Chain A
Amino acid sequence: EAGVTQFPSHSVIEKGQTVTLRCDPISGHDNLYWYRRVMGKEIKFLLHFVKESKQDESGMPNNRFLAERTGGTYSTLKVQPAELEDSGVYFCASSLAGTGLGGYTFGSGTRLTVV
């Protein structure tokens, strides 16, 4: 079974540019999550999709971030325009189970550097 795949693995962009991160969850997983780790800090929740619907987007930092999951398969996270504080590692995760069972599978992350 293929794991959660994220692309690209690294991205270096200038402040003000746009970047789009992609996540392919494990096939058949309805739940898809985006998390972010800023250097040296905790991994923070951004949002949660159930199929194509946003179940919880309480962690999205501001309106420069746009997440989509058209068709309920892969998801994209776009940052436009990027700011320096957006640098960090963006993780995607997916799961079959719903609330209370935890333990979803994470991708390897996209390391975003804004210069």
Chain B
Amino acid sequence: GQQLNQSPQSMFIQEGEDVSMNCTSSSIFNTWLWYKQDPGEGPVLLIALYKAGELTSNGRLTAQFGITRKDSFLNISASIPSDVGIYFCAGQLSNTDKLIFGTGTRLQVFP
């Protein structure tokens, strides 16, 4: 079945640093999504990407949908303590509602 390879698995950074994480797949996806999960909560949508090559920003977050539709990256600039959590990429195929998730990147931010 489809798989998303997400890296890195975890990151430990200092407040103020920039962060980058990415996902790759052997499958072509119609839509790429980035979610964040806080402890004890469900995933919350950060950014949705619909077109190959699309670059989208949401505050300090920037994500791009790869030109081949098989990869995406998420950048967080000037990290702050509340950025702590697990970040998931997710891909959606063109003829289905279900999402294929990556394994997540656990982000820790130290003051």
Interface residues of A (CB under 8 A from B): 4, 9, 31, 33, 35, 40-45, 48, 55-56, 58-59, 91, 93, 95, 98-103, 105-109
Give me the 8 closest cross-chain CB pairs, A-B, nearest first.
Answer: A106-B42, A43-B101, A45-B98, A42-B101, A102-B31, A42-B103, A103-B45, A102-B92
Q: Is the CB of B42 within 8 A of A48?
A: no
Please report the C-alpha to C-alpha distance between residue A58 and residue B45 in the assembled complex, in whole angstroms.
Answer: 24
Interface string of B73-97 (1 = CB under 8 A from A): 0000000000000001010101111
Residues in A whose Cβ lies below 8 Å from that of B92 = 100, 102
CB of B99 within 8 A of CB of A45, answer yes
Tally of B interface residues using CB under 8 Å: 27
Which residues of B come within 8 Å of A, CB atoms? 4, 6, 30-31, 33, 35, 40-45, 48, 88, 90, 92, 94-104
- In the complex, what's the smallest C-beta–C-beta distance from A55 to chain B, in angstroms? 7
- Chain B residues whose CB sits within 8 angstroms of the CB of A44 once the complex forms: 101
Of the candidates B42, B45, B48, B100, the one whose C-beta lies within 8 Å of that of A107 is B42
Q: How far is the CA of A55 from the CA of B96 in the complex (A)?
A: 10
| A91/B42 in contact, CB under 8 A | yes
Q: Which residues of B are found within 8 Å of A35, using beta-carbon distances? A: 99, 101
A54 to B4 CA separation, bound complex (whole angstroms): 25
Measured in the bound complex, the distance between the Cα atoms of B35 and A55 in whole Å is 24
Known: A43-B88, A102-B31, A102-B33. A31 touches B97 (CB 8 A): yes
**B104 contacts which chain A residues (CB < 8 A)?**
42-43
